[in-house]
Amino acid sequence: MLAQVVASLKAQLAQIYHKLVESPKQVISLFFGLIVLCLGGGIYFFQANTAKTPPSATIDQTILTTETTAEEQSSAVERIYVDIKGSVKYPGVYSVAQSQRVQDLLTKAGGLTEDADTSQLNFAAKLVDQQLIYVPKIGETRSDQSQNQTPTVTESKININTADISELQELSGIGAKKAQDIINYREENGHFKSVEELQEISGIGEKTVEKLRNLVTITID
Q: What is the per-residue pLDDT for 139?
A: 84
pLDDT(106) > 90: yes
What's the CA gap between 31 and 61, in Å, rounded? Answer: 46
Q: What is the per-residue pLDDT for 125?
A: 87
Mean pLDDT, residues 5-9:
60
Quickly state the pLDDT bin for 38 (edges 50, 70, 90).
Answer: low
Strands (E), the chain: 79-86, 92-97, 132-135, 158-159, 216-217
CATH of the domain at 107: 3.10.560
Mean pLDDT, residues 198-213:
89
**What type of residue is 151?**
P
CATH of the domain at 197: 1.10.150.310
What's the CA gap between 197 and 206, in Å, rounded? Answer: 10
Q: Which domain range does residue 38 map to?
A: 2-46
Domain count, the chain: 3
Report which of residues 28 and 105 the model is more confident about.
105
pLDDT(210) > 60: yes
Confidence (pTM) = 0.36
Report which of residues 86 and 55 the model is more confident about.
86
Please indicate, yes or no, whether residues 149 and 95 belong to a single structural domain of this protein. Answer: yes
